[in-house]
Amino acid sequence: MRLAFMGSPDFAVPALRALVAAGHEVAAVYAQPPRPAGRGQRETPCPVHRAALELGLPVRNPARLRRDTAEHEAFRALDLDAAVVAAYGLILPKPILEAPRRGCLNIHASLLPRWRGAAPIHAAVLAGDAETGITIMQMDEGLDTGAMLLREATPIGPRDTTAVLHDRLAEIGARLVLRALAENPVPVPQPAEGMTYAPKLAKADSRLDWREDAAALDRRVRAMTPWPGTQFEAGGDAIRVLAAEPAGTADAAPGTVLDTLPRIACGGGTALRLLRLQRPGRAPMEADAFLRGYALTPGTVLPLPPDA
């Protein structure tokens, strides 16, 4: 089948590789333009761009598509059977959506209609969902509103992070999109009930508010791992929390350091144990090693977020 592939981050790379390995003809790969990265701020191609070059595939990097008629014509001239889209990062206008004979198939990292939007994996972990999954969707002009072609669920384990689910879902998506292309399933409209939205993450999402209960804070730490991370303020430093777990009860004000494990008092009389921490400019450390060089004295009350 003659395809275009449209994606940018690591999540999309397994699908691109699977399409090539399955013998599909990838006529063009569309990816976000290279951007400055690293200390030297050198122009760096995104993961899909790099993978496409390794596979010997032509890459296109339009900065926008919505009103670029020249890009619309170039896309139409590819004479595609279908386009496969995975976290591309640009909105596809109607001329792009309608150009391939079988339209554009999107690999979406949730069980639609739950968690439409930009951060579905984070949202599922943060909400405490029991499962998430992949939906292969026939794209339309709405935001993740197209008809569903295939869905596959996977459980969210009690210690799963966004990073763990990201990699698992990327592999499921690669396998499922091959099935969708081979089987051409009948599109099923998304049900009206059960729709939720996962907005783009903001800086405030990384802040730990000790007034939440420990279970909610544990979910936040796991949901924001590896990005954007979670943090709290102590001694004027923003301390990153890389791992934590609920740890019993607490009879103290939220934010109180209870002991040297260390456990922090949280809302609802609960406590959160901090397992892995990082100071600005320092390497990540297990909590016991961290505390040998940074005191979190029992009885100290940590501040709440500024906008809490």
261: alpha, beta or left? (left if phi > 0; alpha if psi -120 to 50): alpha
Query: Does the annotation place 80 within a ligand binding site?
Result: no
Query: Does the annotation place 8 within a ligand binding site?
Result: no
Query: Does the annotation place 201 within a ligand binding site?
Result: no
Query: Does the annotation place 111 within a ligand binding site?
Result: yes
Contact predicate 175/230, CB 8 Å: no
Annotated binding site for (6S)-5,6,7,8-tetrahydrofolate: 110-113
Annotated binding site: 110-113
